[in-house]
A and B are shown apart, each in its own frame.
Chain A
Amino acid sequence: MKGVSMLNVPAVLAIYRFEMARFWRTALQSIVAPVISTSLYFVVFGAAIGSRVQTVDDIPYGAFIVPGLMMLSLLTQSVSNASFGIYFPRFAGTIYEILSAPISPLEVVLGFVGAAATKSIVIGLIILATASLFVPLHIAHPFWMVFFLLLTALTFSLFGFVIGLWADGFEKLQLVPLLIVTPLTFLGGSFYSIEMLPPFWRAVSLFNPVVYLVSGFRWAFFGRGDVAVGVSIAATLAFLTLCLGLVAYIFRTGYRLKS
């Protein structure tokens, strides 16, 4: 029962397609919403603040916030898509079919998390495209840009999956994104460089994992970040490993899926 050759590919694809169908069914919200909110950010932050803060680290402020904006959406979208994706079948009871199917936990995760990550990457790219209408963009390290994009989407989709397993109500489902993910992202240097903070708050910020993601992502765009890129990469991989471990543990114990 082991080995890649035993992977139930049709099952992974079935879950993946099912989840993506939900995304396309609500394409209007899925796609229009990020376009509108990105445009608003540009109006508020880019135009209003950007007229006072002209550059950060020699980067025009409008361009400077693009990686942070993308990260903000990537994080919130990954968490909400993945948590909703697995929570809903639990809530509706349709999870019975997945539990009774000849699929391994790994395949379930691949299907759900893969779809959630895909959605948030699509949204991230839409934001990038929208942003490029407002500011000229040049990506210094495209490979690493894609690397951070993929790994962040994956990591936070895994994180969302865990939340979707843990939640026993719609309130809890929204609690974590609202109380943890969004504040960490806003305080994680999405719209400013942590260099701009007083020393005390700069030190505090270094405990915020999102700082490393935003910094690495910004480095991929502009060749400069708040922390060394190697630290960002290490932090991203560490968080990914942590989420993978958490998911593996959950499935081993049958936590919240089986009685």
Chain B
Amino acid sequence: MQPIVSIANLSKVYASGLHALRGVTLDIAKGEIFALLGPNGAGKSTLINIVCGIVTPSEGMIRVGGHDIQSQYRAARRMIGLVPQELTTDAFEKVWDTVSFSRGLFGLPRDPGHIERVLKDLALYEKRESRIMQLSGGMKRRVLIAKALAHEPKVLFLDEPTAGVDVELRQDMWRLVRRLREQGVTVILTTHYIEEAEEMADRVGVIRKGEIILVEEKVELMRKLGKKQLTLHLREPVGTLPESLARHALQVGEGGRSLIYTYETRGERTGITGLLGDLADAGIAFTDLDTSQSSLEDIFVDLVRERA
């Protein structure tokens, strides 16, 4: 199936000379929830803002629903809703008016029924006659979401939707995202909370220093996340492994010169002691060993360190 968002070889160099994105290629499938994960300054907002038309790309090609975002910007942008990272709202306008304004801006005729539904979904209906400046920060964020949904987008971008919001709004947001998915809306969100990606996403992309370093199904990712590999470099190549080692589920490396053992870091017992004992019993000697974590985990460790 044709991806709903297709980004090819996208680069961005800001006027300051800063390389914010380097050759990003990414396809988003229709109807999925995609979480873009990465530390502050990785280029998440830049990527989203380029797709939405707020920042001009330096290089690359982007299609939304098959429409080029530059030459066919009208068709492309009609499909897109954006909730920006910053809490940028008007002050004096009333909630109802600002949400209706957004719908008009996207070229749609008035539809009070739709606006009412959106406001009710976001628990904003009671506040429809309030001026935005009278609302709390959390309520303002709801207004931004309502504005983004006013024109019934097919693709919704949420740029750090839960940064600094209270628990209630966070849960409402997750409910909303799931409901949108049921309606066939594609949701792309950025976050630097791993749990958020874990909770909401079908697929996760990790961006670091302007490069997408990994894109993976969440389920697959979680499986890799908790695993570590021990590689034993053997003195003599082995052919078939002795029966006594079967319980360790070892993989044999290239030319039988190494053995690879995968274990759970989260488990209480790694089984390494047992393995080494069994190897000695089987007379298999090794010259060296190393352990590796998936690079993703390194990133997550970095991320966690940044948050702390």
Contacts and interface: CB of A to CB of B under 8 A. Distances in A.
Interface of A: 1, 6, 8-11, 13-15, 17-18, 21-22, 25, 92-94, 96-104, 254, 258-259
A259 to B, nearest CB: 6
B106 A11 contact: yes
B1 interface: no
Contacts of A94: 88-90
Given A92-B90, A254-B56, A103 B84 contact: no
B104 interface: yes
Contacts of B107: 8-11, 101-103
Nearest to B46: A259
B105 A1 contact: no
B71 A1 contact: yes
Nearest to B157: A100
B54 A96 contact: yes
Nearest to B109: A10
Contacts of A11: 104-107
A104 to B, nearest CB: 8
Given A10-B109, A96-B82, A100-B52, 7 more contacts: A8-B107, A10-B107, A18-B101, A92-B89, A93-B88, A97-B147, A102-B76
Contacts of B49: 96
Interface in B29-66: 49, 52-56
Nearest to A9: B107
Contact of A100 (B82, B89, B90, B103): B82
B15 interface: yes
29 contacts: A10-B104, A10-B107, A14-B101, A14-B103, A14-B104, A17-B101, A18-B93, A18-B97, A18-B101, A25-B92, A92-B90, A93-B84, A93-B86, A96-B52, A96-B82, A96-B84, A96-B88, A97-B102, A97-B147, A99-B52, A100-B54, A100-B80, A101-B106, A102-B74, A102-B75, A258-B55, A259-B15, A259-B55, A259-B56
A102 B106 contact: yes
Given A1-B74, A99-B54, A15 B105 contact: yes
A103 B75 CA distance: 10
Contacts of A98: 105
A19 to B, nearest CB: 11
Contacts of B71: 1
A256 to B, nearest CB: 11
B144 to A, nearest CB: 9
Given A14-B104, A96-B82, A259-B56, A21 B73 contact: no
Interface residues of B, number: 37
B104 A1 contact: no
Contacts of A99: 52-54
B109 A102 contact: no
Contacts of B282: none
Contacts of B90: 92, 94
A15 B105 CA distance: 7
B55 to A, nearest CB: 6
Nearest to B14: A259
- Residue among B101, B104, B109 with max Cβ neighbours from chain A (10 Å): B104
B121 to A, nearest CB: 20
Contacts of A15: 105
B241 interface: no
B78 A102 contact: yes
B295 interface: no
A25 B90 CA distance: 14
B278 to A, nearest CB: 60
Contacts of B75: 102
A109 to B, nearest CB: 15
A67 B84 CA distance: 47
Nearest to A104: B74
Contacts of B72: 1
Contact of B77 (A9, A10, A13, A100): A100
9 nearest CB pairs, A to B: A14-B104, A93-B88, A102-B74, A102-B77, A100-B52, A101-B105, A8-B107, A10-B104, A99-B54
A110 B11 CA distance: 33
B65 to A, nearest CB: 12
Contacts of B102: 97
Contacts of B76: 102
Contacts of B93: 18, 21
A14 B74 CA distance: 16
Nearest to A111: B105
A58 B10 CA distance: 70
Interface string B111-146: 000000000000000000000000000000000000
B49 to A, nearest CB: 8
